Structure 1
Amino acid sequence: MRTSGNGSSGRQGRGRTALRSATLPLALVLTTACHTNVADGPSTAEASFTVRYDRPSSPDADDAAFVRERRLPEEAVRHITALVRLNPPVAMTVRSCDGEGPSYDPRTREVEICYDEISETRGLYRDAGQGLSDDALSAVLLESLFHESAHAVIDVLGLVVRGKEEDFADQFAALMLLRQGAEGEERLLDVAETWRLSAITYENEDEDGGQADEHSTDHQRAVAYLCYLYGAAPANHADVIGTDTLPAGRARGCAREWKRAQAAWTNALG
């Protein structure tokens, strides 16, 4: 996971330790330094985001190829636009971030997503001694895409947020994944495991002892995602309850907790 924060520019970042995890047809502008392609479908104005790929730095070339081959930004935009329309659309740029982490900048209305999140997530699993499938890696990047896009939706629509905006953005990511059915549930499970590994691998090394700033800690985010997963479908995910995953006491209130989170976003979006 990687560090990203809010500076004087007003950028909304992924967190202290951000990852080092019925649709409508769209038209997306896919731009490199060399050319522009416009996908078949409605005009770009009908999408909530336009997608641009910047040329990656040499170390990020393989990561960039993974993101483009899987078309993860395009998938995220497709799911978001099925729920909400931003007009004019917000820019979503995928680039080499040099470890700064993904973010949203309200001044430029740009979501920035990082190629290097791919290699950093691989490194996390390698450090933890665990295997990582391409599908799980895709889930982690999709969560970043949804989380940062949530900041854009909040900003552009002027939504009123009660509590931490970072937690509200996590709830949006969970909502977007769980709307995908069984596949989304598996993706959210992969995301929760990634935050859990990050808490074990990195937060214990923090000088502040893993205390949250404007973001919840990685451990808290892992537990919250498992709570939403379990609360949305308790019969399918009883196996996520455990002393080092989702405490039984928390699990008892997860159906109610997920309904509140879901309702907060659906009501905010009208």
Structure 2
Amino acid sequence: MSRRWKTLVPSVSVLLALAGCGAPPGPAPRGFAPRYEEPAAADAAHARFLRARRLPERAADALNAYLDLPYQVTVLARSCAGEGSGYDPETRRIELCYDDLTQERELVTTDEEVADVMTETLYHEAGHALVDVLDLPYGGDRAEEDAADRFAALMLIREGPDGERALRTAAEAYARTPPDPDDGRDEHAPPAARAAAHLCLLHGAAPERHADLADRTRGCTPTWPQARDAWTHDLAPLLR
């Protein structure tokens, strides 16, 4: 290499470095962003299941195609030591728990059904995230939990027959869930009520495909138009 190149190469490097120093920062990340933590040993199989099915990625893709968030909400799959999936407004993080799959496998039988139930859970927690993003004024924990259930139903019904199947699977799983002896302290509706509400929305949205639910859902509330229109109205600032 000639002496000229020896002097030019560091000069170019310095110029590039100086140019980078003055560059403005890129835009802040936005939208639902999936991430995985290493699981506890007992949850390794559950973590492999979520990764193989790409449940966080698929849900995040569907949410981001529908909504334009002003900031990032992380969808974190992790071991929770029995705490249960949830949304943390301080960290803007949905936690989808590997260990939840142990309970779900007691309620449903196939891998497809387990994936359906976990997807409903993820959309439910996304509903909480959206209540936070939009600062929606729900009057109490139970009202917010019911709204998050309706958002999960909305997202699954938007996916057509496959999503409807997932919603029905989740409803049947709720129906099989034994009542919580401490239900008075649980902000969620009783499992049987959550099942009934999901089936009510499902039949209302697609009565021809779910004609067998007609008797079970006659006169039920909330109706599909009410639930759909309420969330669509609230989501208006974020809709793509």
User: Distance in 2 between the 1:217 and 1:121 partners?
Assistant: 17
For the structure 1 residues 87 and 149, does the alpha-carbon distance in structure 2 shift closer, same or farther, using more than 3 Å as the test?
same
Matched with 1:233 is 206
User: Distance in 2 between the 1:267 and 1:161 partners?
Assistant: 14
Matched with 1:156 is 133
The residue matched to 1:51 in structure 2 has which SS? strand
Where has structure 1 moved over 6 Å in runs of 4 or more? Answer: none
Matched with 2:102 is 119
More relative contact order, 1 or 2 (CA 8 Å, 6+ apart): 1
Runs (5+) with no aligned partner, structure 2: 1-26
The residue matched to 1:94 in structure 2 has which SS? strand
Identical columns (%): 43
Matched with 2:231 is 265
The residue matched to 1:45 in structure 2 has which SS? coil
* 1:64 paired to 2:43: no
The residue matched to 1:234 in structure 2 has which SS? coil
Report the structure, 1 or 2, having the larger helix content. Answer: 2
Equivalent residue runs for 1:88-237 within 5 Å: 88-125=71-108, 132-161=109-138, 164-198=143-177, 202-203=178-179, 206-208=180-182, 210-211=183-184, 213-237=186-210
Larger radius of gyration: 2
User: Distance in 2 between the 1:75 and 1:111 partners?
Assistant: 15
Letter in 1 for 2:196: V
- Indicate conservation of the 8 Å contact 2:28/2:71, yes or no: no
- Indicate conservation of the 8 Å contact 1:146/1:176, yes or no: yes
Matched with 1:251 is 218
The number of aligned residues is: 208
User: Distance in 1 between the 2:76 and 2:46 partners?
Assistant: 15
Q: Map Cα deviations across residues 128-153 of structure 1 (whole Å, 9 max, x no partner).
A: xxxx1211111101011101111111
Equivalent residue runs for 1:42-81 within 5 Å: 45=29, 48-81=31-64
Letter in 1 for 2:225: K
The alignment's C-alpha RMSD in Å is: 2.0
Superposed displacement of residue 234, structure 1: 1.3
Letter in 2 for 1:251: R
- Indicate conservation of the 8 Å contact 1:44/1:50, yes or no: no
Farther-moved stretch of structure 1 (165-174 vs 151-160): 151-160
